[in-house]
């Protein structure tokens, strides 16, 4: 047995602590590892370099409007593929994939609530939903804003 094998046989590997997925994230700008809950409390702004990370449409509206006053408009509307559209992928499949990834039914989230006590209706696009693609549901939700 060589000297390196003797040393290696005496080394016992340590058990890695299991860290649940999504607890930590890395800043896209400065590379700092950040605690996810702290980042959410700071409205997706890196506390080290002030870089603004991408925020979901739903989180943006929740942070903008007064707590407890939110009512979603048009949430009952669901997109349909009446044209049976297909390019490199079926629209129906693309839609199901976007819904699964984002948890949204379509690209626009509309909420009624108050902003510092004043009644408002606010809408935000979810870019992660097929790049903010505008289908019939987006139009119907805009109409619901009135």
Any residues with CB less than 8 A from the CB of 53 and at least 6 apart, and which? Answer: 27, 28, 39, 44, 45, 46
- Compute the average pLDDT of residues 55-65: 96
What local confidence, expressed as pLDDT, does residue 1 receive?
64
Summarised one tens digit per residue, pLDDT across range 65-96 is: 999 999 999 999 988 888 888 788 888 889 99
Summarised one tens digit per residue, pLDDT across range 25-48 is: 999 999 999 999 999 999 999 999
Could you tell me if 108 and 72 are in contact, meaning their C-beta atoms sit under 8 angstroms apart? Answer: no
Domain boundaries defined on the chain: 1-53, 55-146
CATH class of 55-146: alpha beta
pTM: 0.76
């Amino acid at each position: 047995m060589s000297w390196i094998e003797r040393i290696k046989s005496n080394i016992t590997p340590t058990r890695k602590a299991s860290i649940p997925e999504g607890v930590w994230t890395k800043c896209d700008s400065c590379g700092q590892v950040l605690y996810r809950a702290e980042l959410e409390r700071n409205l997706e702004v890196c506390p080290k370099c002030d870089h603004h990370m991408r925020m979901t449409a739903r989180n943006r509206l929740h942070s903008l409007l007064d707590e407890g006053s939110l009512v979603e408009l048009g949430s009952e509307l669901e997109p349909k593929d009446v044209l049976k559209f297909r390019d490199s992928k079926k629209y129906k499949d693309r839609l199901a994939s976007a819904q699964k990834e984002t948890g949204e039914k379509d690209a626009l989230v509309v909420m009624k609530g108050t902003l510092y006590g004043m009644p408002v209706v606010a809408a935000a696009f979810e870019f992660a939903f097929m790049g903010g693609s505008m289908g019939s549901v987006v139009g119907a939700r805009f109409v619901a804003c009135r």
